[in-house]
Amino acid sequence: MINVGTDLGTSRDAVALAERYDKGVYAIVGLHPTDTEGPFELEAFRRLAAHPKVVAIGECGLDYFRLNADPAVRAAEIVAQKEIFLAQIAIANEADKPLMLHIREAYGDALDILKEHARVKGNSHFFAGTIEEAKRFLDLGFTLSFTGVITFAKQYVELVEYVPLDTMHAETDCPFVAPMPHRGKRNEPVFLSEVTDKIARIKKLPLEEVESALLGNAKRFFGIDLA
């Protein structure tokens, strides 16, 4: 189980939770792109990033979905998002840990920034882009992850078919988007099996093959040894 922080407080909580277990529980630390209000706590995040239980930096990225309607405020928000994203890419480069990317309606800008600045791999979480955008991530050697949304939204079928099994992850985005048949409930890590099952059905592969491939992908991407 990998708990993903979205600000300094939840990042610290994720590390504290991981510390309570010898293995099998890990943390990701970062500042969500919609959180541009306060100053970015660079030194605090750098220290957390070096923690042995921290396996990636994020959620970080760009999110243009809920920008202010006022063009001037909107432009300032985009500048702030890019600065905070660049700071977190630098932290990931320094810690030599991958990026957990939250990108919404901003794939072009995010890809341009990543191509120029990232010296580590990344995963585009809750991927909802086009096949062309998926290809650009795969060309960078990045991975894409899918949530319970694929169990009830038809527009992901072609994308899941397209993305090679060894370049994808399954995730919950917990507590959001509970998969079928648990819609309306709080999402839980245990419901991840519904996502892997759907990937197996879309790709017409045996479930065991998909499960073992995805476990291998996660161990490789996050540098996790469960032995």
Is 26 or 127 the residue whose CB approaches Zn ion more closely? 127
Tell me how far, at minimum, the Cβ of 100 lies from Zn ion, in Å: 8
Encoding tokens for residue 54?
């921290």
With CB under 5 A as the contact rule, which of the stretches 56-64, 162-170, 180-188, 212-220 interacts with Zn ion?
56-64
Tell me how far, at minimum, the Cβ of 43 lies from Zn ion, in Å: 24
Is 35 or 59 the residue whose CB approaches Zn ion more closely? 59
Is 127 or 191 the residue whose CB approaches Zn ion more closely? 127
Phi-psi region at 141: left, alpha or beta (left = phi > 0; alpha = psi -120 to 50): left
169 sits near Zn ion (criterion: CB under 5 A)? no
Tell me how far, at minimum, the Cβ of 204 lies from Zn ion, in Å: 29
Is 147 or 217 the residue whose CB approaches Zn ion more closely? 147
198 sits near Zn ion (criterion: CB under 5 A)? no
Q: Which DSSP state fits 130?
A: -
Tell me how far, at minimum, the Cβ of 103 lies from Zn ion, in Å: 8
> Cα torsion for 100, 103, 109, 111, to the nearest 10°?
40
102 sits near Zn ion (criterion: CB under 5 A)? yes
Q: In 3D, which of 114, 115, 106, 121 has the Cα closest to residue 56?
A: 121
**Element of type H or E holding 1:** none
Is 102 or 210 the residue whose CB approaches Zn ion more closely? 102
With CB under 5 A as the contact rule, which of the stretches 7-15, 17-25, 52-60, 80-88 interacts with Zn ion?
52-60
DSSP line for 90-117: HHHHHHT--EEEEEES-HHHHHHHHHHH
Burial grade of 181 (CB within 10 A; 0-12, 13-18, 19 or more): exposed
Q: In 3D, which of 95, 93, 94, 142 has the Cα closest to residue 121?
A: 142
Please, which of residues 7-46 interact with Zn ion by CB under 5 A?
none
- Applying CB under 5 A, the residues found at the interface with Zn ion are 59, 102
